Structure 1
Amino acid sequence: MADLTADELLVLQFEEQWWKRRGPRDAAIRRRFGTDPVTYHRNLDALIDRPEALAVAPLVVNRLRAQRASRGWQLGRTQRPAS
């Protein structure tokens, strides 16, 4: 199992703290990570699938996975969960 990079750890830390804040998220992503939001979210999506990320930040990763699953269902990408 490969370790997470310092940048990946910063992303997890940002995600851990961001949900408590308000304000322009896209601007914060550009300022803090020097990348556009689309690239950031693509990288974040891949990061939360890694077992290393789950081991380091299980609450954050599970929250982000649940949000992704919910958005996928809302966009018609997945089947509606069984009730």
Structure 2
Amino acid sequence: MVELTERDRAILDFERSWWTNDAPKDQQVQERFELSLTRYYQLLVELLDMPEAALYDPLVVRRLQRQRDRRRQARRESMIDETVTPTGSTGDET
């Protein structure tokens, strides 16, 4: 079992309440973690798959996993729609 680092715990703590600050999330991430938003999300995605993260803060991890899963499902459905109805097609072609 891998222990969560101090930064891992800080990221989960941040996700619990970042919206209570008036500053934009990307600005908060840069100031607090000295990371780009892209790198921050890469680390967060890795955390969501760690059982230790779910033990540390199960509510936050489950909420973020549900959000991730909904986004993935929406992307899959969007890709399926694009293959069924090609862009620019009106469906009236004969």
Which of the pair is proportionally richer in helix?
2
For structure 1, the 5+ residue unaligned runs are 78-83
Q: How does 1:2-81 map to 2 (within 5 A)?
A: 2-76=2-76
How large is the RMSD of aligned CA atoms in angstroms?
2.0
% identical equivalent positions: 36
Q: Describe the shift of the 1:67–1:22 C-alpha distance in structure 2 as closer, same or farther (beyond 3 A).
A: farther
Q: CA deviation at 1:20?
A: 4.5
What secondary structure is seen at the aligned counterpart in 2 of 1:42?
helix
Q: TM-score, normalised by structure 1?
A: 0.85
Distance in 1 between the 2:75 and 2:9 partners?
A: 29
Larger Cα-atom Rg: 2
Report the number of matched residues. Answer: 79
For structure 2, the 5+ residue unaligned runs are 78-94
